[in-house]
Structure 1
């Protein structure tokens, strides 16, 4: 199933989006509703809150007195942390149970106001953020909720900043306009991304890619995007994965590239790579068979040292290549050395940029990137290998060492 984390600041319009997604067919898990459910009378949650905060936290009917609890934790980070330590695990457990009961091809949307603050982004295939400028949200809280400016600003300050939420977002819904404009964006996201993603995930196949090699100027968002995806992959199998590194052209500042994120997943050996395959597929990165070796280079012509497992993203709106290699292998070392050479040697960056631009122009009419990729391969052996090997020797470059 496709798991979506939905979040947004107070008065951003997140509830409108959640309701629309449910109308379109999503299984909705509302964290706020669950937070109330897990502290109902007779629950473990309420018992633990009473033990922590005292019986005075209850009203005359034995239910949680929420205003009194709010007063107890407001402005007191330690008491708030104690409350969160009780409620958040219970909410997550209940959400997990609802998710587990959903159909294999379902789109499960978890509405989590504090998703960013609690660092849960890596647990989802996508994080969707409902966004509105701070001044718009402030106006809504005052006009629609009757809050004072001071109270509204205090509530906003207690949450993640707008910049922090946007940094965590795989998709952003802009709610600075009308409700209908927001609903149209939700429908576009559902039809154009979520449903195809869920279908690909259920089928265990990568999203199709069409068109030739189109190079784009380097984008700062590539590093941020790679970081989010790397965290998601690492969380899928922490016992098997040694590291996830951003490699390839999008990892090199200043280098034009196809809008495709390349990540290298380091594992102890290829046996671990095989065990990792179904876990990566469940995380949204199914295996692509038939691409299981890099071209050996003169420094190590043994083909077995260049074996890998290759996965690609099921998300139709974000192209990702995942290269699973044994740490210490020739292919693993080459990918890291090549990236660091381009990052640190301006002449190398210029040389490769010119080569890429020439080939992209030559194969501009190709329906896929295959011809472009094949034409680049001799350059990696004939030009890059001797130059970057000399650079590594001159600078003392060594690949990272991962703690076992």
Structure 2
């Protein structure tokens, strides 16, 4: 099962995306619907709301008077938090029940308006954020919900801003065009990313990376992408997990293959093997075999590790699992920090990358071509570490 978080600011068009995902076969868990369900007449949730806010939030028929409750909490952070403490745990519990009832091959979409505000993003395999221009959102709220422009602007201002949502987004769907345009983007997303992603998660297989080599210019969003992946890994195996961003995408200004390299430090390789199933369920299945388990180190050395890939065909990842303190662990951190700190080394590596890419058309031959450079640069990196007092992991 693929767990997808769907969110977006009020008026952005999140509901339209949810409906189109359902039309493509997704199973929808709508947090707004659940939020109404858990405070329906006769529920413990409604009883707790009345205890907290008084009988004035009830209609004469004994149902929740939502406008009256909204007037009580809007603009009052303490009251809003009190209401969230009543509703959110119940909504999450009900969402878990619905997830357990979904088919094993489902694309399970959780429509969560406050996904970013409540810090839930790492609990999903993928987060979709729907975005639209502020003026367009205000017009939509005026036309569809009868709000005034001032009311709509106040509701928008009370939520997370666009920058906060973008930081949580694995997929950003812009909704400033027509409904047909939006549907076409959702259909493409389902066909090319969500369906194969779900299959890889269910089967425990990594999305295949083709042999062709493609270097790209430095992407300033690589660190943020790595942060999202690290948060997902920590959610799966524990907040204390020692996961770091390594490799070329971790060095600002360095061209690279568009593959995020991460490293998880463990005490033993037995511990790495024990974590494999949980990592796979989180979307990072193990890639096993002699080539993956025994990376070549410096001349004459072999550095054992475990390598995990990603089930997501839209975001290539290598997750290297190494023993903390081992030569391979130290070397990965040293070369990253050396290249970050010494512009001349980074520039030399950049020029060498361009030359190797001109000579080789596939990733494997390119990787082999890099080894002599790293063998030679290792001494310069060690000298830099000694002169600066560098310690791995600092």
Tell me if TM exceeds 0.5.
Answer: yes
What is the match of residue 296 of structure 2? 295
Tell me, in whole angstroms, the C-alpha distance in 2 between the residues paired with 1:354 and 1:5.
41
What is the match of residue 30 of structure 2? 30
TM-score by length of 1: 0.94
Say whether residues 1:384 and 2:385 are aligned partners: no
Tell me, in whole angstroms, the C-alpha distance in 2 between the residues paired with 1:57 and 1:139.
29
Q: CA deviation at 1:268?
A: 2.4
Tell me, in whole angstroms, the C-alpha distance in 2 between the residues paired with 1:280 and 1:98.
23
Q: CA deviation at 1:210?
A: 1.7
Q: CA deviation at 1:324?
A: 0.9
Residue correspondences, number: 392
Q: Is the 8 A contact 2:211 2:364 kept in 1?
A: no
What is the match of residue 281 of structure 1? 280
What is the match of residue 360 of structure 1? 357
Q: Runs of 5+ in structure 2 lacking a partner? A: none
Q: CA deviation at 1:297?
A: 2.7
Q: CA deviation at 1:296?
A: 3.0
TM-score by length of 2: 0.96
What is the match of residue 249 of structure 2? 250
Q: CA deviation at 1:168?
A: 1.2
Q: CA deviation at 1:44?
A: 2.1
What is the match of residue 192 of structure 1? 192
Tell me, in whole angstroms, the C-alpha distance in 2 between the residues paired with 1:63 and 1:144.
24
Tell me, in whole angstroms, the C-alpha distance in 2 between the residues paired with 1:51 and 1:176.
43
- Secondary structure of 1:87's partner? helix
Q: Is the 8 A contact 1:242 1:268 kept in 2?
A: no
What is the match of residue 398 of structure 1? 391
What is the match of residue 372 of structure 1? 366
The 3 A distance-change label for structure 1 pair 84 and 246 is same
- Secondary structure of 1:97's partner? helix
Tell me, in whole angstroms, the C-alpha distance in 2 between the residues paired with 1:350 and 1:17.
44
Q: CA deviation at 1:314?
A: 1.0
Say whether residues 1:221 and 2:221 are aligned partners: yes
Q: CA deviation at 1:35?
A: 0.3
Deviates more, 1:336-345 or 1:141-150: 141-150
Say whether residues 1:104 and 2:117 are aligned partners: no
Q: Please list the CA deviations of residues 226-246 of structure 1 after superposition, one character each: whole Å capped at 9, or x if unmatched.
A: 11111111111107x531111
Say whether residues 1:322 and 2:319 are aligned partners: yes
Tell me, in whole angstroms, the C-alpha distance in 2 between the residues paired with 1:32 and 1:115.
12
Deviates more, 1:59-68 or 1:316-325: 59-68
Q: Is the 8 A contact 2:246 2:261 kept in 1?
A: yes
5 Å-filtered alignment, 1:31-180, equals 31-180=31-180
Q: CA deviation at 1:212?
A: 2.0
Tell me, in whole angstroms, the C-alpha distance in 2 between the residues paired with 1:137 and 1:74.
19
Provide the alpha-carbon RMSD of the alignment. Answer: 1.4
Q: Runs of 5+ in structure 1 lacking a partner? A: none
Q: Please list the CA deviations of residues 248-286 of structure 1 after superposition, one character each: whole Å capped at 9, or x if unmatched.
A: 000100100011100011222222211110111001111
What is the match of residue 205 of structure 1? 205
Q: CA deviation at 1:202?
A: 1.3
Q: CA deviation at 1:347?
A: 1.2
Tell me, in whole angstroms, the C-alpha distance in 2 between the residues paired with 1:242 and 1:316.
25
Q: Is the 8 A contact 2:223 2:250 kept in 1?
A: yes
Tell me, in whole angstroms, the C-alpha distance in 2 between the residues paired with 1:378 and 1:97.
55
Say whether residues 1:345 and 2:338 are aligned partners: no
Q: Please list the CA deviations of residues 128-181 of structure 1 after superposition, one character each: whole Å capped at 9, or x if unmatched.
A: 111111111112222333321110100000111112112211111121000111
Q: CA deviation at 1:196?
A: 0.9
Q: CA deviation at 1:378?
A: 2.8
Tell me, in whole angstroms, the C-alpha distance in 1 between the residues paired with 2:13 and 2:194.
19
The 3 A distance-change label for structure 1 pair 329 and 215 is same
